[in-house]
Chains A and B, each alone.
Chain A
């Protein structure tokens, strides 16, 4: 089982609902976020292009953050999700430095925090909070090991890219383009 997310950049309007829903669902402290919006512009008026992406931890299959964690707090978990065990985390920040996606932050309580793919919801058969709330339905979540899953289906049909593949982390976020 390998959880992954596909983000349809053609539909995303960058409304930040994913960010707010994550904050309320996971009680992320105000001023911090586990997911965020990136807007990339190209061209000169009036020949312009814009891509909008909802980003978060890539839950890489070859995660530098897991490799470099001195205490084992960062680890692979259910369906390949990369999680942090707060009470094992000493807040050294090695994982933050190693992440090419800038996906981690230090929680005010001292441990490192990041997207969990809402594994607590997923275990109950619910989609992650960001996926459930997205007004444009531009987020697809599921098991890429299962060819029948929605995410596998959409990856079969659509052109996509992954971010910074040259880092060799084998990320599990796919951006439909």
Chain B
């Protein structure tokens, strides 16, 4: 094995020599007292530390940034008082230092000089760049209306830019985190329980007896506190049931692994409901008291026997019964996990509804070991005048499509930027922040078609991502280690806030988003919406009204508050409230019915791969977040490229060798820009291939990530739209292998 491989993979036989003897522990002679004080992090003496919360992913774990004796950033350690991480950051958070040190960072504002996408820019001062943006925004507002400008954003910096957009007169502020990720489950749980899940999801894994994961690869997606609680659950002997066509990491740790045929999850969920209802294994008291539509559901699921589901899912009927029994035995301390990235097949709201309904039958919502009742701290607003009315809101622009969408859809903004797609309306300008749309949005070609029709594209980012190559103006933001940001405030078991402050001065000529937003506002005559002089004042205003202060938060980083909404679970003192039309959990959704959708989830057979093609499945790896970390020196060292997972049977058919280069081509003829190496593994089904999302960068300025692996975005040209809320289902694409270089021109 190569000493420089940080991750060494072997199959038994080849790696058999690594196995040693098996023994049991013996009592050992007593000796000196163990000097360890446990798993706490006392302040490392002699070093300065400043509080932050991580920006490498949306979990936003709070931590401490340590500097060494040369006053340079040294390491980042989790904040022990933070429930998102409990003092333990994940590899990406630990490797966050690499984001600061990356020499490929954007270093100065840039203004485009050549054609879009040609990567021809000239350096500009902040003043000149922001003047140009302000002027162009003013022009668009006068000619087309401010509502034709959209902000597409991911991360903490977007909050102040959103304020700017509202002040300007647009409410089209979208994150791909909604319609390309967790939107369907938010809508589904909202329709069922009257409230969505938000982030972190209120899954009470800490106290669960049975955790069911459907296509969710917890542990490969390092949703930190959830992974921690899952590891504790393994220690406690809780049962894990994993449904996945891939033998994921968590599948290997599960009591049951259901190697399901992709796209058939709804059939399995219906069969589980059939078994649980017909055997009387549901929580009768809970269902009786809190739900509506049970009789209709009971009648509806009668045909969906385990034998029926077997023919669809390929899961043994006994396995379906056994797992249903396992869940029922654990009820109500059971979690059918809602997942996070759930935009798969276009019926995702319905699949998420089935998950919500199964949780309701087992009585897990609002119960210990199921779903807890989270609480959020209210943060006072810094006073500002009321925002101007929006001439045409994002919902008006959707004109009745996707009636259950709760937030603007990034895909609708891309669609709506192409002439003729929305009749008389067309988006004319985008401000894109921390979101590499070329790799985030399905169908890169369509994204580029939309960009070519824009009057203005401003990109605010730390790195020369692909999207920056298409910008008119590039505004380099400093990394999270060099800036203040809004307070972190998420739903939790108890309300908790966290502070991010600069650990060091910004490197290069980079600026925080709040500064960019405020400066732009000044140039656009909107300064009254940004009444504060310094960001310290903005934060202190809020903190002093929350029983704290900026000074205190600088010392503690994280502050917890007492709950004011009652118990963590339903109780006599804390009776359930369901914000649905019936005031109950809606097993039968009258809202969906009224809007012309199935009131109960229906299994629909989805298209299957043609001969010689395989379903493209993509996912996460613990050391990276989407495409934003691929160039991070610390994290690229752990994993520099993605590989194409191929089942040995498929590899034999194609005569593929492990480590061989292949290009992937999809059903529409779209081919990857680069090859990826084949990983022949039993861990993937023979009807699918798997790649980790976020690789295959085409931006040559990303010196570590350029040409490393393949991007799924180019292969996802077929999008299965969810008619309920507009989510973009992305698992309906099929790929085949090209073993010879198709000599494709690389566009940067």
Binding site for B on A (CB under 8 A): 1-2, 10-11, 13-17, 19-21, 23-25, 30-33, 36-46, 48-50, 52, 102, 105, 122-123, 125-127, 131-138, 141-150, 152, 155-165, 175, 177
Contacts and interface: CB of A to CB of B under 8 A. Distances in A.
Which 8 residue pairs of A and B lie closest in terms of their CB atoms, listed nearest first? A145-B31, A136-B231, A15-B622, A155-B25, A13-B219, A149-B34, A42-B12, A50-B252
B8 A16 contact: no
B252 A48 contact: yes
A2 B31 contact: yes
Contacts of A141: 36
Interface residues of B, number: 84
Contacts of A17: 88-91, 94, 622
Residue among A13, A23, A102, A160 facing the most chain B CB atoms (10 A cut-off): A13
Contact of A36 (B7, B34, B42, B250): B7
Contact of A127 (B39, B44, B77, B253): B39
B91 A41 contact: no
A21 to B, nearest CB: 5
B30 interface: yes
A38 B4 CA distance: 12
Contact of B31 (A15, A131, A143): A143
B682 A48 contact: yes
B634 A33 contact: no
B234 A39 contact: no
A165 B231 contact: no
A144 B95 CA distance: 32
A135 B227 contact: yes
A6 B10 CA distance: 22
Contacts of B438: none
B34 A146 contact: yes
B25 A158 contact: yes
Main secondary structure of the interface of B (DSSP, over half): loop
B75 A24 contact: yes
A136 B228 contact: yes
B97 A30 contact: no
Nearest to A102: B3
B253 A10 contact: yes
Interface in B77-130: 77-78, 85, 87-91, 94-95, 97
B647 interface: yes
A30 B21 contact: no
A38 B41 CA distance: 27
B9 A41 contact: yes
Contact of B247 (A32, A46, A133, A158): A46
Contact of B8 (A13, A37, A161): A37
B126 to A, nearest CB: 31
B249 A24 contact: no
Contacts of B685: 45
Contacts of B38: 127
Given A39-B9, A136-B228, A145-B31, A164 B18 contact: yes
A29 B25 CA distance: 37
A14 B7 contact: yes
Residue among A19, A42, A133, A162 facing the most chain B CB atoms (10 A cut-off): A133
B23 A160 contact: yes
Interface string B48-86: 000000000000000000000000001111100000010
Nearest to B219: A13
Contact of B24 (A19, A40, A123, A159): A159
Residue among B4, B91, B230, B259 facing the most chain A CB atoms (10 A cut-off): B91
Contact of A145 (B6, B29, B76, B249): B29
A31 B4 CA distance: 7
B39 A132 contact: yes
B683 A41 contact: yes
Contacts of B232: 137
Contacts of A102: 1, 3
Nearest to B89: A133
Contact of B633 (A30, A40, A42): A30
B623 interface: yes
B34 A137 contact: no
A157 B24 CA distance: 8
B249 A149 contact: no
A155 B23 CA distance: 10
B231 A138 contact: yes
B645 to A, nearest CB: 11
Given A20-B634, A24-B97, A122-B36, A10 B30 contact: no
B6 A14 contact: no
Given A49-B252, A149-B34, A157-B25, A131 B39 contact: yes
A142 B12 CA distance: 31
B255 to A, nearest CB: 12
Contacts of B378: none
20 contacts: A10-B253, A11-B234, A11-B253, A15-B90, A20-B635, A37-B7, A40-B11, A40-B19, A45-B684, A48-B247, A125-B35, A127-B38, A135-B90, A135-B222, A137-B88, A145-B28, A148-B34, A159-B22, A160-B24, A162-B23
A24 B65 CA distance: 12
A134 B88 contact: yes
Contact of B250 (A13, A122, A126, A152): A13
A165 B21 contact: yes
B37 A125 contact: yes
B247 A45 contact: yes
B31 A44 contact: no
B10 A40 contact: yes
Given A24-B634, A41-B10, A161-B19, A137 B228 contact: yes
A20 B638 contact: yes
A43 B633 CA distance: 35
Contacts of A21: 75, 91, 94
A36 B6 contact: yes
B228 A127 contact: no
B420 to A, nearest CB: 47
Contacts of A126: 36-37, 41-42, 44
Nearest to A45: B682
B283 to A, nearest CB: 30
Given A45-B682, A126-B37, A148-B30, 14 more contacts: A11-B253, A17-B88, A23-B637, A30-B634, A36-B8, A39-B7, A42-B12, A131-B39, A132-B41, A136-B227, A136-B231, A159-B22, A159-B24, A165-B21
Given A52-B249, A149-B34, A152-B28, A161 B21 contact: yes
B489 to A, nearest CB: 23
A46 B259 contact: yes
Residue among B17, B21, B222, B252 facing the most chain A CB atoms (10 A cut-off): B252
Contacts of B224: 135
A79 B39 CA distance: 19
A144 B635 CA distance: 34
A148 B31 CA distance: 9
A156 B41 CA distance: 27
B228 A147 contact: no
Contacts of A134: 88
A165 B19 CA distance: 9
B567 interface: no
A20 B34 contact: no
B27 interface: yes
A14 B249 contact: yes
A152 B25 CA distance: 8
A6 to B, nearest CB: 9
Contact of B88 (A2, A48, A135, A149): A135
B257 interface: yes
A161 B25 CA distance: 10
A13 B249 contact: yes
A12 to B, nearest CB: 9
B195 interface: no
Nearest to A134: B88
Nearest to B37: A125
Contacts of B637: 23, 30-31, 33
A46 B257 contact: yes
Nearest to A18: B91
A40 B16 CA distance: 9
